[in-house]
Amino acid sequence: MSAPIRLIIADDHPVVREGLRAVLDTQPDAEVVGEASNGTEALSLVGSLHPDLVLMDLQMPEMDGLAAIRRIRQRHDDVNVLVLTTYDTDSDIARAVEAGATGYLLKDASRDELMKAIHLAARGETVLSPQVAARVLGKMRAPAEEALSTREIEVLLEVADGFSNKEVGRSLHISEATVKTHLLHIFAKLGVEDRTAAVTVALERGIIRLNSPRGSS
């Protein structure tokens, strides 16, 4: 049996932290190892506890979630961050992904949605809540603009082969943050929420084939 996912909850509302802990304490594959009420505390706890994943609110005192995400990813690139917030504006979503967040989930997510997102994000897989995916898709969707770009197809082929974001970036000579941005666009264009669904849909539509040749870039 694999070790449980070690988590830090970062949220300035005690009731939210207590609620999340109550949910996660019932899960045998998740362990809350620390709680933070602001970004400064979150950064400190990551340094001392070395969790697998941080559940990060965006709006917090002293240091907000975006700043905390950037610093965590700069100092501890093996620690993933899943944003858990009530904010779903285009700018919040984009800035969180650019800062280095692995996933973006809204606080009204169900227990099953939360646990699915935690497992994906802990493995470094980009994941969006259904509402966020729909919002990004709504912003991007336009006639004749739904086709994946050449680079997006290259990224998706690497993902289909089972490579992590970091491995995809190394293979294509781009940053891990750029890989996440490409995945965000892929999810939106295909109307999906995670990597597995993106590969499945792309295969079904004939966008990629598992034996497709790689590009030279």
- Which domains occur in the chain, in start order? 5-129 (3.40.50.2300), 141-204 (1.10.10.10)
Q: What percent of the chain has pLDDT over 90?
A: 57
Cα(177)–Cα(179) distance, integer angstroms = 5
Q: 18-27, 142-151, 154-163: lowest mean pLDDT where?
A: 142-151
Q: How confident is the model at residue 145 (pLDDT cuts 50, 70, 90)?
A: very low
Burial of 132 (0-12, 13-18, 19+ CB in 10 A): buried
The answer on pLDDT for 129 being more than 50 is yes
Region 118-126 average pLDDT = 91
pLDDT of residue 92: 84
| pLDDT > 60? residue 212 | no
> For residue 216, what pLDDT is reported?
41
Please state the rounded mean pLDDT for residues 39-62: 96
How does residue 22 score in pLDDT terms, banded at 50, 70 and 90?
very high
CB 185 within 8 A of CB 152: yes
Residue 210 pLDDT: 74
3 contacts: CB under 8 Å, gap ≥ 6: none
For residues 193 and 187, give the distance between their C-alpha atoms in angstroms, rounded to a whole number: 6
Residue 179 pLDDT level (bands cut at 50, 70, 90): very high
- The single-letter DSSP state of residue 214 is P
Tell me the two tokens of residue 127. Answer: 């994941």
Instruction: Choose from 30-34, 171-175, 199-203 the range with maximum mean pLDDT.
Output: 30-34
43: confidence class by pLDDT, cuts 50, 70, 90: very high
